[in-house]
Structure 1
Amino acid sequence: MISISSNELIALINSFIWPLTRILGLIAVAPPFGNNTVPVQIKIALGVMLALIVAPTLPVISDLDPVSFNGILVLAQQLIIGLGMGFVMRVLFSSIEMAGEVAGLTMGLGFATFFDPQTQGRSSAIAQFLVLTATLILLTLNVHLSMLATLVESFQTIPISTSFHSGFNYQKMVIWGEQIFSVGMRLSLPIVAALLVTNVALGILTRAAPQLNLFGIGFPITIGVGFLMLALILPYLLLPLENLFQQGIETMQSLGLPATAPPSQPPMQR
């Protein structure tokens, strides 16, 4: 008869529950895993499978009871680390969504909104189109596999321990949030600039010919110019998005490094 002592049982639970919590934290937030359209059963199955692969390679904290106060603190710490790493990639998609929102509002498509199951709110048609395009590029470049590989490597740079100083760089994660605004404006800049010139030309035309109906000709022209610019910049979006995803993976890897200075923002290549 096979018998397992309580200490051995605690050791087995510890070796599995800590990495599982961190993995599920990333899967719950990071795209495309964190999308609400992905069934919860698939997310849990993926997390369990990765935890079973990672757990045998990690040192076991055998003297820590998982249901004790310290065990719950370690559990919360691993969850925060996983959520923080997923937050890095989620910020990039939020910046892409913001670029679509700015472009759509400038085009006059503020009324063309849809329900976004990811954010549980409204989202413009242009934003949804750019997010879907970015998701396809992410899957094509295997960035989702790079995210999982970075997550597995994080158990070496940010080891599981009972210390509150786990090595996780919270400051860098917070600073990374500014990418929503900087990247969003850079991605939408070509469309916004073209529509600015279009609106100035329409203003001059209306001033020269007051009998023209600005609302009658203005909306079709701005929407047409916006779609034309969107079609022109789509072939050139691959390189900026590839650099953006690479920067996100590098940021995920650097979350386990000490903060020295705020990260510099290299210019996005086009």
Structure 2
Amino acid sequence: MIDFQIDQLYAWISGLLWPLFRIAGLVALAPILGESSVPARVKIGLSVVLTIVVSPLIGPVPAIAPASYAGLLIAAQQVLIGMTLGLCMRLIFTATMMAGEFVGLPMGLAFASFFDPATGANTAVLSRLINLVAMLMFLAVNGHLLMIDGLMRTFDLFPIGAPLHPEGWSALLDWSAQIWISGMLLALPIIIVLLTINLSLGILNRTAQQLSVFAVGFPISLTTGLIMLAIVIPQSSDFLTRLFEDGYQAMARIARSLAGL
């Protein structure tokens, strides 16, 4: 006769439930995986499959009833960890969209926007274009697999139920500065050229006032910007690859800070 106890049931449920919360938190906010265009069933199924794969490798977990106050606290903690790491990588793609905003303004395309279901707001066309290029590059270098691997390594840094240290949130805030820095660096070559064009048009307006700069300035800026985009975007692969590597290092740094290491 098989002897079955309630503590064994709690251990089996906890062995799958606590890792599932951490993985699901990452999938909810991670780039590519967490896009609104991805069905919720796909996200849940991916989280469950990853949990089944990783659960035998994470070691013992606290045998706590999931419906207890301690169990709810652990669940919230695991979701917060996963969402923090997913947000870390999401900031990279926010930086690429910021680069599109920087470029669109001097090109005269700041008004060219449409509703983006991924962000839930109006997004500039150039921001969406650069973001799509970054997503394709992210998939090409297997960034989604490296991101998941970084999450799995966090189970060794701080096991389930271990206390979180506040230094991790400071590390996340420090990394968030890359939204402006990386966005500006990505858009800087185009901005320099467009500012030079605008400065030249301003000088031309002072020297030849009979020439309508407003009539010729917009086509010149738009054409120059499109030419520069055709030149810069194919050359941005090295910059994006380094940015992704910085994101992986930021994930590891945030994880170590949360573990107090």
Same fold (TM over 0.5): yes
Whether 1:144 aligns to 2:144 is yes
Q: Give the whole-Å Cα distance in 2 for the aligned partners of 1:131 and 1:212.
A: 38
Whether 1:122 aligns to 2:122 is yes
Residues 90-139 of structure 1 deviation map (CA, whole Å, 9 limit, x = unaligned): 00000000000110111110111011111100111111110000000000
Question: Match for 2:189: what amino acid?
Answer: P
Q: Give the whole-Å Cα distance in 2 for the aligned partners of 1:62 and 1:164.
A: 13
Q: What's 1:174 paired with? A: 173
Q: What's 1:265 paired with? A: none
Question: Match for 1:105: what amino acid?
Answer: L
Whether 1:230 aligns to 2:229 is yes
- SS, match of residue 115 in structure 1: strand
Q: Give the whole-Å Cα distance in 1 for the aligned partners of 2:200 and 2:23.
A: 53
| CA 1:6–1:224: 2 relative to 1, 3 Å | same
- SS, match of residue 114 in structure 2: strand
List gaps (5 residues or longer) in structure 1: 260-270
- SS, match of residue 123 in structure 2: strand
Structure 1 residue 3: Cα displacement: 6.2
Q: Give the whole-Å Cα distance in 2 for the aligned partners of 1:103 and 1:251.
A: 27
Kindly report which structure 2 residues correspond to 1:16-55, keeping only aligned pairs within 5 A, or say none.
Answer: 16-55=16-55
| CA 1:111–1:65: 2 relative to 1, 3 Å | same
TM-score (norm 2): 0.94
**Contact 1:158–1:167 (Cα < 8 Å) also in 2:** no
**Contact 2:165–2:257 (Cα < 8 Å) also in 1:** no
Q: What's 1:83 paired with? A: 83
Q: What's 2:100 paired with? A: 100
**Contact 1:169–1:255 (Cα < 8 Å) also in 2:** yes
Kindly report which structure 2 residues correspond to 1:175-190, keeping only aligned pairs within 5 A, or say none.
Answer: 175-190=174-189
Structure 1 residue 157: Cα displacement: 1.0
Question: Match for 1:104: what amino acid?
Answer: G
- SS, match of residue 114 in structure 1: strand
Structure 1 residue 62: Cα displacement: 4.4
Question: Match for 1:145: what amino acid?
Answer: L
Kindly report which structure 2 residues correspond to 1:184-263, keeping only aligned pairs within 5 A, or say none.
Answer: 184-258=183-257
Please tell me the root mean square deviation across aligned C-alpha atoms, in Å. Answer: 1.6
Question: Match for 1:237: what amino acid?
Answer: S
Question: Match for 1:231: what amino acid?
Answer: A
Higher helix share: 2
Structure 1 residue 61: Cα displacement: 3.3
Question: Match for 2:256: what amino acid?
Answer: L
Q: Give the whole-Å Cα distance in 1 for the aligned partners of 2:97 and 2:34.
A: 16
Q: What's 2:68 paired with? A: 68
Q: After the TM superposition, which parts of structure 1 deviate over 4 Å for at least 4 consecutive aligned residues?
A: none
Structure 1 residue 254: Cα displacement: 2.0
Structure 1 residue 4: Cα displacement: 3.6
